[in-house]
Amino acid sequence: MSKPVFNLVLAGSLLWTAVSYGKPLPAKLVMGNGKVWKGQIVKRDGDWIEFNKDNAARTIRVGASTIKELNFKVAIDAEKVSGMIRDREFDGAIKLIDDAIAPFGEYRDIPSNLTRYNALLMELLYRTGKDDASLEISSAIAQDDRNPELQEKARIFQALALVDAGRAADTEALFAKYGWDLEPADDAAPEKLYIAAKYMALKKQFNRAMEYAARVVAFHSQDPDWVQPAELLCAQLYTELGLYDSADEVCREILLFYKNTPESDEATRLKIKIEKLRAEQRMKDSLQSE
């Protein structure tokens, strides 16, 4: 199945690399009462954070639950990460982000400005087929209501990861939880139509899946984040239905209009699969005619 194209903007959720570092971390603490403290986090002791406020003579102990948000300085070359994503070097981009946020892993349970890096990890992990890892991050972001737009995006990736993992029942439960319709209306958002198409494909209801994917292409042709994977999904569905000529034609269009994209890579692989299926069909027909 295709993975939607993502924006090359760092956007995201809570930290996920459980590594403890002894080195003090420059940080800004936004407290629940609205106060903002600048300084260094010296260490963490369970539910307590030892904090050196503006290089004061003594550290103070702050309850983790009293912190509204942590703001860290992240050493990362965002331009390099974006370039790697453009070049589809997704594993390399994942490593760069992981390495950059690793020092803060001990504070993953506290809302932070590092959410945006984890959201990008969520997308990259999904792109590379690491559905369980993507689902773990998206599930956390989906519970963080500080950014409703990002929260909704995480919920989309939750659904996509569940479908790709073949977890139909969990997908249905997720839709029920969020009040989404498994059979969206014609004017539904493209991501909801795309998820519905993939869900129907998972249920082996290929004609219905084709209907939803075709709606994305017909009604959201100017939205590359969803029309490109939807077109690829159409080619995959045609293949499942044994309509190899139609699948081949869609692949040709993808290779023509979406050069150097993950969809073009998948279309190339799909064309090879189609040729093998055609050869198998010819062999079967030949044997039956003898």
Q: Is residue 277 part of a domain?
A: yes
What average pLDDT score do residues 273-285 get? 91
Q: Is residue 248 part of a domain?
A: yes
**Structural domains of the chain, count:** 1
Tokens 């293949």 correspond to 239
pLDDT-derived band at 6, boundaries 50, 70, 90: very low
Give the Å distances, CA to CA, from 220 to 206, 217, 232: 21, 6, 15
Calpha distance 136→54 (Å, rounded): 35
The rounded percent of the chain whose pLDDT value lies above 90 is: 77
Q: What local confidence, expressed as pLDDT, does residue 233 receive? A: 98
Phi-psi region of 54 (alpha: psi -120 to 50; beta: other; left: phi over 0): left
Q: Is residue 41 part of a domain?
A: no
Structure tokens at 175: 């839709």
Q: Is residue 66 part of a domain?
A: no
Burial of 20 (0-12, 13-18, 19+ CB in 10 A): exposed
Calpha distance 148→161 (Å, rounded): 20
| Phi, psi of 55, rounded to the nearest 5 degrees | 55, 35
Q: What local confidence, expressed as pLDDT, does residue 237 receive? A: 98
Contacts 24+ apart (CB under 8 A), 154-160: 154/13, 154/119, 154/122, 156/191, 156/195, 157/122, 157/123, 157/126, 159/195, 159/199, 160/3, 160/4, 160/126, 160/195, 160/198
Is the pLDDT assigned to residue 13 strictly greater than 80?
Answer: no
The rounded percent of the chain whose pLDDT value lies above 70 is: 92
Q: Is residue 63 part of a domain?
A: no
Structure tokens at 115: 């959410």
Structure tokens at 35: 């106060």
CATH number at residue 253: 1.25.40.10
Q: Rg of the Cα trace of the chain?
A: 23
Q: What local confidence, expressed as pLDDT, does residue 270 receive? A: 97
Q: What local confidence, expressed as pLDDT, does residue 290 receive? A: 66
Is the pLDDT assigned to residue 8 strictly greater than 50?
Answer: no
Q: Is residue 256 part of a domain?
A: yes
Average pLDDT taken over every residue of the chain:
89
Q: What local confidence, expressed as pLDDT, does residue 287 receive? A: 80
Q: Is residue 259 part of a domain?
A: yes
pLDDT-derived band at 23, boundaries 50, 70, 90: confident
What average pLDDT score do residues 65-86 get? 93
Sheet (strand 25-31) strand order = 60-63, 48-53, 36-45, 25-31, 67-72
What average pLDDT score do residues 16-29 get? 65
Q: Which residues neighbour 64 within 8 Å (Cβ) at sequence distance 6 or greater?
A: 44, 47, 48, 49, 109, 110
Structure tokens at 159: 């659904």
pLDDT-derived band at 119, boundaries 50, 70, 90: very high
Task: Residue 283: give the domain boundaries.
Answer: 181-290
- The answer to whether 98 and 11 have CB atoms below 8 angstroms apart is no
What pLDDT, in 10s, does the model give residues 195-254? 999 999 999 999 999 999 999 999 999 998 999 999 999 999 999 999 999 999 999 999
In DSSP notation, 20-69 reads ---S-EEEEEEETTS-EEEEEEEEEETTEEEEEETT-SS-EEEEGGGEEE
Is the pLDDT assigned to residue 188 strictly greater than 80?
Answer: yes
Calpha distance 148→90 (Å, rounded): 26
Q: Which residues neighbour 167 within 8 Å (Cβ) at sequence distance 6 or greater?
A: none
Q: Which residues neighbour 163 within 8 Å (Cβ) at sequence distance 6 or greater?
A: 1, 171, 195, 198, 199, 202
Is the pLDDT assigned to residue 258 strictly greater than 90?
Answer: yes
